[in-house]
Chains A and B, each alone.
Chain A
Amino acid sequence: MNYNWNWGIFFEPAPSGTGSYLDMLLSGLALTIKTALLAWIIALIFGTVIGILRSLPSKTASWIGFGYVEFFRNMPLLVQLFLWFFVLPELLPRAAGIWMKQLPNAPFWTAAIGVGLFMSARVAVQLAAGIGSLPRGQQQAATALGLTTAQGYRYVLLPMAFRIIMPPLTSEFLNTIKNTSVAITIGLIELTGQARAMQEFSFQVFEAFTAATVMYLLINIVVVTGMRFLERGLAIPGYISGK
């Protein structure tokens, strides 16, 4: 392969003037994590609400849940980000649209909300499945004790269901992190974006992408390990994953 490797490139100053190429990549890494965390919070909140709706016996509730999930699942994430970023401000009343367009960090907020809502549909599906996998007697027992439906979910069903779906939630969180890279298309210079920028400035394609790859692998390892500890901490003795 006639390619000029130069691993020292990371310590050379980047043309952006904010330090070395390594600093550039690290700032991208930080932005990836920040965006992903906010998106994940949004995904958990909306996903929980919709997941509950999907598990309710009411026809209307489950239709709303179904519609929500189908809406966010049947469009490419990229297209959804375009809708939030380019289309929504134009369709809102003038003042609101202008406010949105002039928002500082607009790519960041759009990415976090867009990825968050996209992922919330998947969280909802997982949660509804988790609730569905609980024995029916649990809900009946809660009702028999005089708990309202809301209390039943809050104190009985959700704590169990979330423990059950910890493994799939871990991989959805990882997906959230990976999906933030789609926001490169609306100008968010996160980790992949910085690697791309470094490639354009320095022409050291493979060093840049290797570094980004290693960083993504590290994120994965950290998240998987962290979630395993969390899972162990939350495990109930004698019940699923508990020992």
Chain B
Amino acid sequence: MFDNLDFDVIRRSLPYLFFDGMTFTLMLTALAALGGLVFGTLIALMRLSSYKLLGRIAGLYVDFMRSLPLVLVIFWFYFLVPYIGQWLTGAPRPIRVGAFTSTLVTFIMFEAAYFSEIMRAGIQSISKGQPQAASALGLTYSQSMRYIVLPQAFRNMLPVLLTQTIVLFQDTSLVYVLSIPDFLGAASKVAQRDGRLVEMYLFAAAVYFAISCLASYGVRRLQARIAIVR
């Protein structure tokens, strides 16, 4: 069954797989998580704000993003980002945007919807007395959010945020549909060039599996530690 397999192809392509592919994947994951968290927190604050209209807009955005498949969103932004760039810069025609920038924008906008739900739950989990105590001390709304509410919400939700980041890490593989050489894309390129689909896809699966397992084990440890501190 394994007799006509050639696992040496993996060894030969390791530098390409990791220096090019995995670097792209991890960079995309990290930056998208960061951007998603920032935007997600803003959206969560909008949803919880006392301005009804702001809350409605944020809610619509979240519901909209969450009812679309990521693959479709990736296509959307792939074609839309050049126009957005044109609009932002006032250029005469749609501007060319690199694969990384385009996918980064996609993932930030998409993940913001999911991160915002987590942050919203985190903010709501904090008792009303905390912001009340903060304003009783004379802190303004933004100070109270910045120093009291958000740090606690972030800390309480850290395991969930990290779990979502693991999902994001796996989801970045979908940039495959744009033939972008992330880790899976790189593996797939080698696989097709050398006709070694079985070896390369098994290896890619093993790498994703190992990283995700390790990361979710770390999250479980963290969760246990937080549970003790509380």
**Which residues of A come within 8 Å of B, CB atoms?**
1-3, 70-71, 73-80, 82-83, 86-87, 90-91, 93, 174, 177-182, 184-185, 192, 195-196, 199, 205-206, 209, 212-213, 216-217, 219-220
- Which of A2, A75, A80, A180 has the most chain B CB atoms closer than 10 A to its own CB? A75
Chain B residues within an 8 Å CB radius of A90:
197-198
Interface residues of B in 159-211 (CB under 8 A from A): 170-171, 173-174, 176-177, 184, 197-198, 201-202, 204-205, 208-209
Report the minimum CB–CB distance from B110 to chain A (whole Å).
12
Residue of B nearest to A88 (CB): B198
Chain A residues within an 8 Å CB radius of B67:
174, 178, 216-217, 219-220
Q: In the complex, A217→B94 CA distance in Å?
A: 28
- Asked whether A178 lies within 8 Å of B83 as measured between CB atoms, the reply is no
Residue of B nearest to A74 (CB): B212
- Asked whether B79 lies within 8 Å of A74 as measured between CB atoms, the reply is no
Chain A residues within an 8 Å CB radius of B173:
76, 78-79
Interface residues of B in 74-89 (CB under 8 A from A): 75-76, 79-80, 83, 86-87
With an 8 A cutoff between CB atoms, is B152 at the interface?
no
Chain B residues within an 8 Å CB radius of A180:
69
- Asked whether B75 lies within 8 Å of A192 as measured between CB atoms, the reply is yes
Apart from A90-B197, A219-B67: 9 A-B pairs, beta carbons within 8 A:
A1-B87, A74-B209, A79-B204, A87-B201, A90-B198, A178-B69, A181-B69, A206-B79, A217-B67
Report the minimum CB–CB distance from A129 to chain B (whole Å).
14
With an 8 A cutoff between CB atoms, is B216 at the interface?
yes
- Asked whether B202 lies within 8 Å of A83 as measured between CB atoms, the reply is yes
Known A76-B170, A91-B198, A213-B68; contact A83-B205, beta-carbon cutoff 8 A: yes
Report the minimum CB–CB distance from A77 to chain B (whole Å).
8
- B contact residues, range: 35 or more
With an 8 A cutoff between CB atoms, is B229 at the interface?
no
Known A86-B201, A91-B198; contact A216-B75, beta-carbon cutoff 8 A: no
- Asked whether B184 lies within 8 Å of A209 as measured between CB atoms, the reply is no
A-B CB proximity, top 7 nearest: A74-B212, A181-B69, A76-B170, A178-B69, A220-B67, A76-B173, A181-B71
Known A184-B177, A192-B69, A217-B67; contact A82-B201, beta-carbon cutoff 8 A: yes
Chain B residues within an 8 Å CB radius of A86:
197-198, 201
Residue of B nearest to A82 (CB): B201
Chain A residues within an 8 Å CB radius of B75:
192, 195-196, 199, 209
Please tell me which one of the listed residues A73, A78, A216 contacts residue B72 in the complex, with CB atoms under 8 A apart. Answer: A216
Q: In the complex, A200→B181 CA distance in Å?
A: 22
With an 8 A cutoff between CB atoms, is B11 at the interface?
no
Report the minimum CB–CB distance from B13 to chain A (whole Å).
16
Q: Do most interface residues of chain B lie in helix, strand or loop, or is the interface mixed?
A: helix
Residue of B nearest to A77 (CB): B170
Chain A residues within an 8 Å CB radius of B72:
181, 192, 195, 209, 212-213, 216
- Asked whether A87 lies within 8 Å of B170 as measured between CB atoms, the reply is no
- Asked whether A75 lies within 8 Å of B208 as measured between CB atoms, the reply is yes
Chain A residues within an 8 Å CB radius of B10:
none
- Asked whether B184 lies within 8 Å of A78 as measured between CB atoms, the reply is yes
Chain B residues within an 8 Å CB radius of A73:
212, 216
With an 8 A cutoff between CB atoms, is B148 at the interface?
no
Report the minimum CB–CB distance from A112 to chain B (whole Å).
16
- Asked whether A75 lies within 8 Å of B170 as measured between CB atoms, the reply is yes
Chain A residues within an 8 Å CB radius of B184:
76, 78-79
- Asked whether B69 lies within 8 Å of A216 as measured between CB atoms, the reply is yes
Report the minimum CB–CB distance from B191 to chain A (whole Å).
8
Known A76-B173, A78-B176; contact A184-B71, beta-carbon cutoff 8 A: yes
Chain A residues within an 8 Å CB radius of B93:
2
With an 8 A cutoff between CB atoms, is B7 at the interface?
no
Chain B residues within an 8 Å CB radius of A80:
205
Please tell me which one of the listed residues B1, B64, B83 contacts residue A1 in the complex, with CB atoms under 8 A apart. Answer: B83
With an 8 A cutoff between CB atoms, is B27 at the interface?
no
Q: In the complex, A206→B76 CA distance in Å?
A: 8
Report the minimum CB–CB distance from A227 to chain B (whole Å).
14
Chain B residues within an 8 Å CB radius of A196:
75
Residue of A nearest to B169 (CB): A76
